[in-house]
Structure 1
Amino acid sequence: MRALVVDHGEAGPVRFADVDEPVPSAGEALVEIRHIGLNFGELKYPQEWPAGAVHGHDAAGVVLRAASDGSGPPEGTRVALGMAPYAWAERVAVGPGWLGTVPEGVNLADAAALGVAGVTALRVLRKRSLLARNVLVTGASGGVGHFAVQLAALAGARVTALVGSPDRAAGLRALGAEEVLTDLDETEDRFDLVLDTVGGPVPARAWRSLAEGGALHLVGFSSGEDTTFSSGTLFGFGEPRTIATYGDMTPPSQELTDLLGLVAAGRIAVPVGLRGDWKDVDDAVRALFARRVHGKIVLDVT
């Protein structure tokens, strides 16, 4: 069968290869993959994965054969794979902890976009009560950012979205952002929670806008730049402020189920900014790296 595998060469970060058919264990279902969802980190830093390994974490498809031990969804169920290993192949053997059942009325391609981005946003925002809190989402036009804006607003937060340029602001107010900024110097607000996907100078600047008792969560570093805090910046009086890193890749079945339920109920939208065929993955990767896509990239497996 065909799969997208990790390529450490100049032509990378992925290439097509013929790989062995998966052999499910007793606790794994065999899933036919219909769509895959791309993520910036797994493509920008392919050296973190072994060369030649089937790549990717997010996908959606249909269960061809249920797990023989009776766990997980039955044959014929539409499922989303989130944060799952080896997801970008025509068929995948996967445990139930990485699966969410896609409700009727939810597009299977949309379900492929939920995994890493949606679950990351949901897990961070669940760290504290957001009702009537000020929340800042940086890199808000990306996949995590789009979900974070919606979920924070849904939880009752006053959401400020930070984007890199005015042309990346489109649609964010409709998703729930009360303010959309291109520079934090445009506001004097203090934030109870900052979800940063950008890295570089942005979190250092956001730290200065953090309220007493506030938390800065670092969930990505799309800028590729170092973050430097000037002398004395991390000292302060009053309720302690915190910086937290994010690296939770535990099985997200419950979070996928929650997100899919919100999509089915029309309470959040899935931000697919580019839909295409997986044979055109190189073009999609270039568009992702050039930041020409607002939201997620989903490719059909053909």
Structure 2
Amino acid sequence: MRALVVDHSSPSGLRMDQVPDPQPAPNQALIQVTATSLNHGEIVSLLAAAPDGMVPGWDAAGIVVQAAADGSGPAAGTPVVTLAPEGAWAELRAVDTDLIGIVPDTADLGAASTIPVAGASALRGLHRLGPILGRRVLVTGATGGVGRYAIQLARLGGAHVIAATGDPAAHGARLRELGAAEVIADPAEVRSPVDGVLDLVGGRQLVDAYRNLSEGGTLVAVGHAAGQDEIFPYGALFGDQGRHDRSMVTFFLLSCANLAPDLSWLARQVAAGALDPNISWRGDWAGIAEAAEALRTRRLHGKAVLEVR
């Protein structure tokens, strides 16, 4: 099969090559990939550290061509969306059935391919906050793929959503369309305490966001795009003056159990138009260098979709 493989001698760090077809384990289905979407983390961090010859890629949508031998998961011919730590940038991928969501028959598989990392991270991060109906929720790094899904999902959950983005003038109108009630440039600008934070940036923004948590509030550290240390000043962890019982938790999507139903639910919401996948770039997978560079330099906000042809 054809695949994009890591090649550090190439300017893009990738090359198109022929590689052996994957051999599914008994609990895995074999998927013919139709589309894959890119994530900032895999472009910035994964490619640099990956060995030559590896087939990268977390997110892919396609059709089951061989059902799992153990009887779990969807049947052959089912349109699906899939998540795995590698292997999405290929014509075929073998995926654990508990990381496969079913996509409606008439859905756009390119749109569905945006769901696994961005949509599921947003959904599970918000679940960790607990009930959000009527609560104030801050989303940092709001213009990225996870942030845009998080705004929509938090609004569907009944939250008052505050979106933090580095350029409110450029992105504020769009973030409000997605469901943000307020758009700010920095968590330090929050005017009154928030009940929950989905932090996608880390560094100083995480520290400032934690400072604005109300009593009993939770910050979920989902992303670390800033690449900075989190340094808390003396007193930041005091529990007096309305700061009692605040918590901060770490997050790793692939450690979350039972993701298949979440992926299926998100696919239905995207197919029905209840969630906007926010596709900012779409084209043939041969154009991955262009899309990856746009993501790396932060000229692309939202999701990039590669169609496997």
Q: Distance in 2 between matches of 1:160 and 1:83?
A: 31
Q: How far apart are 1:206 and its partner, in Å? A: 1.0
Judge which range, 243-252 or 274-283, deviates more. 243-252
What are the equivalent positions in structure 2 for 1:142-161 lying under 5 Å apart?
Answer: 142-161=144-163
**Alignment correspondent of 1:179:** 182
Identify if the C-alpha distance between structure 1 residues 69 and 208 changes in structure 2 by more than 3 Å, giving closer, same or farther: closer
Deviates further, 45-54 or 79-88: 45-54
Give, in angstroms, the shift of residue 70 of structure 1: 2.9
Aligned match for 1:133, one of 122, 132, 135 = 135
The aligned amino acid for 1:62 is I
Distance 2:50 2:244 in 1: 40
Q: Compute the displacement of 1:177 (Å).
A: 0.6
Instruction: Check the 8 A contact 2:79/2:105 in 1, yes or no.
Output: no
| 2:226 aligned residue | 223
SS at 1:214's partner residue? strand
Unaligned regions of 5+ residues in structure 1, if any? none
Q: 2:204 touches 2:228 (CA, 8 Å); kept in 1? A: yes
Residue 85 of structure 1 corresponds to which residue in structure 2? 86
Give the aligned partner of residue 239 of structure 1: 244
Contact 1:141 1:169 in 2 (8 A): no
In 2, Cα distance between equivalents of 1:23 and 1:38: 24
Partner of 2:164: 162
Name the counterpart of 1:121.
122
Q: Cα distance, 1:254 vs. partner?
A: 1.5
In structure 2, the partner of 1:298 is: 305
The aligned counterpart of 2:205 is 202
Residue type of the alignment partner of 2:219? L
State the AA in 1 paired with 2:124: R
The residue number in structure 1 matching 2:97 is: 96
TM-score normalised by length of structure 1? 0.93
Whole-Å separation in 2 of the counterparts to 1:26 and 1:183: 48
CA distance in 1, matches of 2:298, 2:248: 27
Residue 213 to residue 33, structure 1, CA distance change in 2 (3 Å): same
Mapped partners of 1:78, 1:212: distance in 2: 44
- Tell which deviates more after alignment, 22-31 or 52-61: 22-31
Note if contact 1:13-1:44 (Cα within 8 Å) is conserved in structure 2. Answer: no
- One-letter amino acid matched to 1:202: Q
Contact 1:99 1:253 in 2 (8 A): yes
CA distance in 1, matches of 2:103, 2:301: 24
CA contact (8 A) 1:199 1:227 kept: yes
1:76 and 2:80 are equivalent in the alignment: no
Q: Is the 8 A contact 1:4 1:15 kept in 2?
A: yes
Cα contact 2:186–2:205 (8 A) shared by 1 = no
Match in the other structure for 2:278: 271
Of Structure 1 and Structure 2, which has the larger fraction of its residues in helix? Answer: 2
- Percent of matched pairs sharing the same residue: 44
Note the 1:251-262 alignment, pairs <5 A.
252-262=259-269
Q: Which moved more, 1:98-107 or 1:67-76?
A: 67-76
After TM superposition, list the pairs within 5 Å mapping 1:17-96 onto structure 2. Answer: 17-46=17-46, 47-83=48-84, 85-96=86-97
- 8 Å Cα contact 2:29-2:66 kept in structure 1: yes
Instruction: State the TM-score, normalized to the length of structure 2.
Output: 0.91
State the alpha-carbon separation in 2 of the partners of residues 13 and 118 from structure 1: 27
Structure-2 separation of matches of 1:84 and 1:107 = 23
Give the 3 Å change call, closer, same or farther, for CA 106–170 of structure 1 in structure 2.
Answer: farther
Say which SS state the counterpart of residue 237 (structure 2) adopts.
Answer: coil
3-state secondary structure, aligned to 2:161 = strand
Unaligned regions of 5+ residues in structure 2, if any? none
